[in-house]
């Protein structure tokens, strides 16, 4: 279950970062432009973002923070599974990569939960 939630947030931040890098917009909620909007920004000489709203929530940044904490929980569950099954370190790393490689967490969840239950393909 942790891998699915982490995977969904990873896909969300992948989309939001693509928007950020391609168009210099961030997803903003409850700002001056309404319930949900894309707020544009520019980069000043010091490398800081300028032009973002001063009210509302930066959903791009919030999704990054939430994914980070979910990934910590995901690594904890990965570690618990790895220690209880006594799998190789390579499997531990492969499962851990599921939280940072888009779509991989869904495949590792399916594959390794079956192996942990003793149901091989």
Q: In the chain, what percentage of residues exceed pLDDT 70?
A: 98
Phi, psi at residue 33, to the nearest 5°?
A: -95, 10
What whole-number distance in Å separates Cα of residue 59 and Cα of residue 88? 38
Q: What is the pLDDT of residues 77-111, one digit of tens each?
A: 989 989 988 899 999 999 999 889 989 888 988 88
DSSP characters for the chain? -HHHHHHHHHHHHHHHHHHHHHHSEEEEEEETTEEEEEEE-EE-TTS-EES--SSSEEHHHHHHHHHHHHHHHHHHHHHHHHHHHT--HHHHHHHHHTTTSTTHHHHHHHHHHHHHHT---
Question: Taking the complete model, does pTM exceed 0.85, yes or no?
Answer: no
Across all residues in the chain, what is the average pLDDT?
Answer: 89
What integer is the mean pLDDT of 20-41?
91
pLDDT at 70: 92
More confident residue, 19 or 120: 19
pLDDT at 112: 85
pLDDT of 35 reads: 92
* Across 50-77, average pLDDT: 91
Q: Which comes out higher in pLDDT, residue 1 or 57?
A: 57
Angle at CA 17, nearest 5°, toward 64 and 77?
40
């Amino acid at each position: 279950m942790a891998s699915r939630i982490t995977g969904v947030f990873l896909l969300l931040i992948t989309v939001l970062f693509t928007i950020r890098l391609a168009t210099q917009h961030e997803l903003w909620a409850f700002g001056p432009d309404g319930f949900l909007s894309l707020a544009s920004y520019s980069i000043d000489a010091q490398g800081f973002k300028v032009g973002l709203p001063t009210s509302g929530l930066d959903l791009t940044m919030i999704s990054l923070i939430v994914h980070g904490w979910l990934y910590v929980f995901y690594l904890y569950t990965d570690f618990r599974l790895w220690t209880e099954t006594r799998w190789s370190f390579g499997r531990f790393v492969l499962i851990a990569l599921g939280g940072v490689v888009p779509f991989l967490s869904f495949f590792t969840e399916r594959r390794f939960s079956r192996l942990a239950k003793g149901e091989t393909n």
